[in-house]
Structure 1
Amino acid sequence: MTDMERKTFCEALRCYGGQAQITMVFEEMAELQNVLCKFLRGRIDGDTLANIAEEIADVGIMLDQMEIEFKVEDAVAEQRAVKIRRLRSRLGYPEKEG
């Protein structure tokens, strides 16, 4: 995340409080789940892909706030790297491929 984003997210956490933002994570994830279910059921219209993009963005913003709230930014980055390496291995990519 950029410095401006981090500053904004810190301010949101200060303004609304950690517990309220945790609740918002649940709400945003539910909205993403809902729009993805609609997609899988074939309910695709002109707004479906835009809605998917919007909800992915909303969830990403809230997850960034959770990293800050729980002071786990470095740990998340490490776990992400581990999980990507594991996925690449399962997909048959060489270990040292750029």
Structure 2
Amino acid sequence: MTSKETMYKAINTYGVENQLIKTVEELSELSQALCKSLIRLNYTKEKISLESVDNIFEEIADVEIMLEQCKMMFQCDKEVSAWKHKKIERLERRLESGN
């Protein structure tokens, strides 16, 4: 089974509503992992441990999987790609102008 087939199966098995809830949960877990790393860096001046970095990597993977499922559920891959392109172009313009 391909990864795409697995994700479609998850959507069909658990349902759209549950997968949207799962997406929010995974986004929250990534946010929490990133905040913990910032706290360690800014307040305790500790180095980020391999364990905490690995946790960030894991949470990024979870979020990417759920976002792929969102694109499948909303059938919006082309629209998301177009928005990403626009946003990156805007970022490029800002960087070139010094803002």
Give the TM-score category using the shorter length. Answer: 0.7 to 0.9
List aligned pairs for 1:13-92, cutoff 5 A. Answer: 13-42=11-40, 44-92=48-96
- Equivalenced residues, count: 91
| Distance in 1 (alpha carbons) for counterparts of 2:15 and 2:63 | 17
Amino acid at match of 2:35: C
Which residue identity is paired with 2:10?
A
Counting helix residues as a fraction of each chain, which structure ranks higher? 2
User: What is the TM-score normalised by the length of structure 2?
Assistant: 0.84
Distance 1:75 1:5 in 2: 21
Q: Which runs of 4+ in 1 moved over 4 A?
A: none
Unaligned runs of 5+ in 2: 41-45
Aligned-residue Cα RMSD (Å) equals 1.7
Structure 1 runs not aligned, ≥5 long:
94-98
